Structure 1
Amino acid sequence: MGDFALPAWPRPAQNALRNLQAVLESGRWSLPGAWQGRPSAEERFAARFADFMGAPHCVPTTNGTSALVIALEALDVGAGDEVIVPGLTWVANASTVLAVNATPVMVDIDPATLCASPAAIERAITERTRAIVVVHLFSSVADLDAILAIGERHGIPVVEDCSHAHGASWRGRRVGTWGAAGTFSMQERKLLTSGEGGAVVCQDGALADRLTQLRSDGRRFAPHPVEGESELVADCSVAGTNYCMSELCAAVLDAQLEALPEQNRRRAENAAVVDKLLEELPGVTPVRALPSVTERTYYQYAVRIDREAFGGVTATTVSRALTAETGLPFQAPYPPMYRHPLYRPRTKRRFLLEGRDPGRLDGPAGGLPETERAHLEVLTLHHPVLLAPDQAFDALPEAIEKVQREAASLCAVESASRESATPL
């Protein structure tokens, strides 16, 4: 690895402390707090993020999960409905559907992008399908042309989950602005972060108004706020929940957004370095972007292995071996949603589960072959690694070749691990 440490994450941007100090001294630490005669930190961030996205509307939230919840609620998804979600993604994409008392319908992925397969989405549509959630996963963008066409053909709105894709573009336009709504997470591990936070962007003013009310207990912004009183007023048309982003998080995000373009540029440069190092190496293939991706971001650098080149072992075993050799934090991707340890719908009595088709709730009976295969064959590297000096990756090809040569010992390690995990 050389004589340097891997970059720490999160890292505060240049003006983060200044912005925090301004909020701490402002007399307003939350959006419902007393208006001080000037825009809140939340409103300033919303305007700047909307401008960055090229979207007319941005509604910040407490986190990415709440962003997904209000996006579904704003699109009138509820009890008895179905929402199509990818089988390979974080658990929140299913739990948020359950949170609005709809059924998550898990579909298989496109092996080229690791995102939801348009053909699988089309097959999963029923008369109860009320929304399609696509996730731009790791460093990929889903096939938006095909998926949006499916949604339009069936009259079903598409929600883009861009929690891995802050700044990515499709045909020159930011992802998140193509569907009915685009949701973002600003959790600690994300490309743009304040520890926690989220946002929804959209094109439609009426939808933005509904989103605003849904995240602020049903309240709207007062047309003529009075200094010393709350800027939010109970002039509402929908019941909401308190998902307002704090002023402190908004202040941090306002600074972090300044640093994002340069960080994304640096990550893309280093991703190209790794691509070049791996291009002649047998048994490993970087996951490529579709040609319509005009700006690619890297939440996780992803590479697919030929398991035969590694003695048939899984990506989990290979990732541990490569981490031991290089110090780089390799990981296998998420397990399929229906096997995710955090997906436990029946532990929540508030969900309306009676009468639902178990095959829909628990995932397809036959599983999702490409999702299962990706969990066994894909290695990922978290994005802070791509902010390291480019020489951090020089030893990677040699390490991969060494791990391949030692395939027999990897098989023994994996076999022993399976045996120790088997109940007596």
Structure 2
Amino acid sequence: MGHFTVPAWPRPAPNALRNLQAVLESGRWSLPGPWQGHASAEARFAAHFADFLGAPHCVPTTNGSSALVVAMEALDVGVGDEVIVPGLTWVANASTVLAVNATPVMVDIDPSTLCASPTAIEAAVTERTRAIVVVHLFSSVVDLDAVLAIGERHGIPVIEDCSHAHGASWRGRRVGTWGTVGTFSMQEKKLLTSGEGGAVVCRDPDLADRMFQLRSDGRRLAARPVEGESELVADCSVAGTNYCMSELCAAVLDAQLEALPEQNLRRAENAATVDKLLQELPGLAPVRALPSVTERTYYQYAVRIDREAFGGVTAETVSRALAAETGLPFQTPYPPMYRHPLHRPRTKRRFLLVGRDPSRLDGPAGGLPETERAHREVLTLHHSVLLAPAGAFETLPAAIEKLQQQAGSLRAVESAR
């Protein structure tokens, strides 16, 4: 197979430069800047993103991590509390819990979706559980019916982390609008991006007001803004932090949002093509979405391998060999959270507070078997690959068959590492 040319990402949407130029010449580059007699770029993006999701309220933030912090602070998560998080996800899902002085409780995944297992979530609930954070991972959506039922049964709010799922839908409604709060990241690799950025969405107007203040140093929008003066006023009911999105990021996101539906459609079409190409091969099984997922998005295309078909080696060895053979940037999933090199809670004294058992910061004592297995058996491809022209993947099966035939060489490579 000839080497694959991966489409560039990020790529500017057609109106991105126009939007940026308007902000650059506006005299207002940040939300606290002087009001110019019209809605800020941030307010316009918030309205458009809320409309896209079908969410009554959207509050932009600096990034996805600050969105999670704002969501948890708004729900009054703090010292002595526990927050349930998946064991397979980016490290911020644990570090943000620690940042609000609560304890992340890592749970195992459902092997069919790679998302948090509802059974594991239920088993992890204690009298200290203050929130459940679920992540719609890679190209899947967690079993929202089961998770929301757990939350309702125990009176625990559910936070949907949709950083991988801009535009995905469950039973005809966008993810992020099912839980108490939905959070999004717009970091450079995401489906919707301005380099950095984030957002929180919800249905409760009082919760939205609280989240707005929490990310605006406690300030609210003035009822009657004065041109040339800041639109934010110190009319606060809660102490906040400055997590405001810049006007430049908001301008880019507003343009990128216009391009998102067509890009998501293109990714889904190419993912279906890859599914068909792989279905006849032994030893590979694309990760499927649950039947209730009515619109699927692909932050990463994920496929599980039968290691025996590749000589018993791990997904890491297969991913490196496939990347060398094809030019496709195959990777393995995140390592389990408790083994992630960036999960280092003991390096910050502020995470070791009275009322918290320090040993619990390191994750479950017995590990998480399905999370560990996914790291050994799953291959992923970044969504930019799925923006390639039709027909770009036709020779992928031959490359995979070649590796399977060279299983002995794969074993030797793995043994040498």
Q: Which moved more, 1:164-173 or 1:397-406?
A: 397-406
Describe the superposition over 1:114-169 as per-residue Cα deviations: whole angstroms up to 9, x where unpaired: 00000000000000000000000000000000000000000000000000000000
Q: Are positions 1:67 and 2:63 aligned together? A: no
The match for 2:19 is: 19
User: What is the alpha-carbon root mean square deviation over aligned residues?
Assistant: 1.0
2:282 is matched with which residue?
282
1:390 Cα deviation after fit: 2.3
Note if contact 2:139-2:164 (Cα within 8 Å) is conserved in structure 1.
Answer: yes
TM-score by length of 2: 0.99
Task: Provide the secondary structure at the position in 2 that maps to 1:59.
Answer: strand
What SS is found at the alignment partner of 1:350? helix
Deviations 1:255-290 (A, max 9, x none): 000000000000000000000001111000000000
Q: CA deviation at 1:4?
A: 6.9
Aligned to 1:167: 167
Corresponding residue number in structure 2 for 1:392: 392
Deviations along 1:159-181, whole A, 9 cap, x unmatched? 00000000000000000000000
Which string of whole-angstrom CA distances, capped at 9 and with x for unpartnered residues, describes residues 15-51 of structure 1? 0000000000000000000000000000000000000
Q: TM-score, normalised by structure 1?
A: 0.97
CA shift digits 1:323-354 (9 cap, x unpaired): 11111100000000000000000111222444
* Counterpart Cα distance in 2 of 1:4 and 1:130: 47
CA–CA separation in structure 2 for the residues paired with 1:27 and 1:151: 46
For the Cα contact (< 8 Å) 2:4–2:328, is it kept in 1? no
Alpha carbons 2:79, 2:355 under 8 Å: kept:
no
Aligned to 1:97: 97
Match of 1:336 in 2: 336
Deviation at 1:362, TM superposition (A): 1.1
Higher deviation after alignment, 189-198 or 403-412 = 403-412
Moved over 4 A (4+): 1-4
- Structure 1: tracts of 5 or more residues without a match: 418-424
SS at match of 2:130: strand
Distance, in Å, in 2 between the alignment partners of 1:91 and 1:223 is 39
Aligned equivalents of 2:281 and 2:313: distance in 1? 18
Counterpart contact for 2:110–2:117, Cα < 8 Å: yes
User: Structure 2 stretches of 5 or more lacking a match?
Assistant: none
In structure 2, the CA distance between the partners of 1:350 and 1:286, relative to structure 1 (3 Å rule), is: same
Give the match for residue 154 of structure 1: 154
| C-alpha distance in 2 between matches for 1:371 and 1:354 | 30
Q: Distance in 2 between matches of 1:272 and 1:243?
A: 38
Aligned partner of 1:314 in structure 2 is 314
Between the aligned partners of 1:100 and 1:5, the Cα distance in structure 2 is 43
Greater CA drift, 216-225 or 389-398? 389-398
- Are the aligned partners of 2:166 and 2:297 in contact in 1 as well (CA < 8 Å)? yes
Could you tell me which amino acid in structure 1 is paired with residue 345 of structure 2?
P
Q: Is the 8 A contact 2:194 2:252 kept in 1?
A: yes
Answer whether contact 1:86 1:106 (CA < 8 A) is retained: yes
SS class of match (2:304): strand
1:133 is aligned to 2:133: yes
Could you tell me how far apart the structure 1 residues matched to 2:19 and 2:164 are? 25
1:39 is matched with 39
Letter in structure 2 aligned against 1:395: T
Helix, strand or coil at the partner of 2:349:
coil
Q: Tell me how far apart the structure 2 counterparts of residues 176 and 187 of structure 1 sit (CA, whole Å).
A: 17
Sequence identity percentage: 87
SS in structure 2 at match of 1:199: strand
Equivalent position amino acid for 1:295 in 2: E
Classify 1:395/1:130 alpha carbon distance in 2 versus 1 (closer, same or farther; 3 Å).
same
Amino acid at match of 2:271: A
Paired position in structure 1 for 2:222: 222
Map 1:10-409 onto structure 2 (within 5 A): 10-409=10-409
Cα offset, 1:6, TM superposition? 1.7
SS in 2 for 1:330: coil
* Residue 359 of structure 1, CA deviation: 4.8
Q: Could you say if the C-alpha distance between residues 39 and 213 of structure 1 is closer, same or farther in structure 2, counting changes exceeding 3 Å?
A: same
Secondary structure of the residue that 1:85 maps to in structure 2? strand
Query: Is the Cα contact below 8 Å between 2:113 and 2:287 reproduced in 1?
Result: yes
Which amino acid in structure 2 is aligned with residue 240 of structure 1? G
Q: Against the structure 1 CA distance between its residues 236 and 376, is the aligned structure 2 distance closer, same or farther, given a 3 Å change threshold?
A: same
Contact 1:2 1:392 in 2 (8 A): no
CA displacement at 1:67 relative to structure 2: 0.2
Secondary structure (helix, strand or coil) at the match of 1:393 reads coil
- Describe the superposition over 1:336-388 as per-residue Cα deviations: whole angstroms up to 9, x where unpaired: 00000000001112224445234532111110000000000000000000000
Paired with 1:369 and 1:4, the residues of 2 have a C-alpha distance of: 34
- Match of residue 421 from structure 1: none
CA 1:115/1:3 → structure 2, altered by over 3 Å: closer, same or farther? Answer: closer
Partners of 1:194 and 1:376 in 2: CA distance: 32
Measure, in 2, the Cα distance between the counterparts of 1:412 and 1:384.
32
